[in-house]
Amino acid sequence: MAFLTADVVEDPSGKLPFKVVIKQGETVLAEWPVKSQAEGHQQLMDLVHDAMEDDDDDNDDD
């Protein structure tokens, strides 16, 4: 199985100047526009943080 990657890239033809792109190999799993690279990086960090919290909640049932 291919690794997941996430990046904030320029999007000259998009609604906003940048977009967040999450891929598995060459397959785009998700993408959304953002105003800046900093905003995109923060959203990715929040996404990972929230996923870790959700995982911790699941483990509390054990």
For 20-31, the pLDDT digits (tens) are: 999 999 999 999
- State if pTM tops 0.85: no
Give the model's confidence band at 55: pLDDT under 50 very low, under 70 low, under 90 confident, else very high: confident
The Cα 54–Cα 20 span in angstroms is 22
On the 0-12 / 13-18 / 19+ scale of CB atoms within 10 A, 6 is middle
Which comes out higher in pLDDT, residue 29 or 1? 29
Half-sphere exposure of 37 (CA within 13 A, CB side): 4
Which residue segment(s) compose the domain that 37 sits in? Answer: 4-59
CB 29 within 8 A of CB 23: yes
- The candidate with the shortest Cα–Cα distance to 32, out of 49, 20, 48, is 20
Q: Domain tally for the chain? A: 1
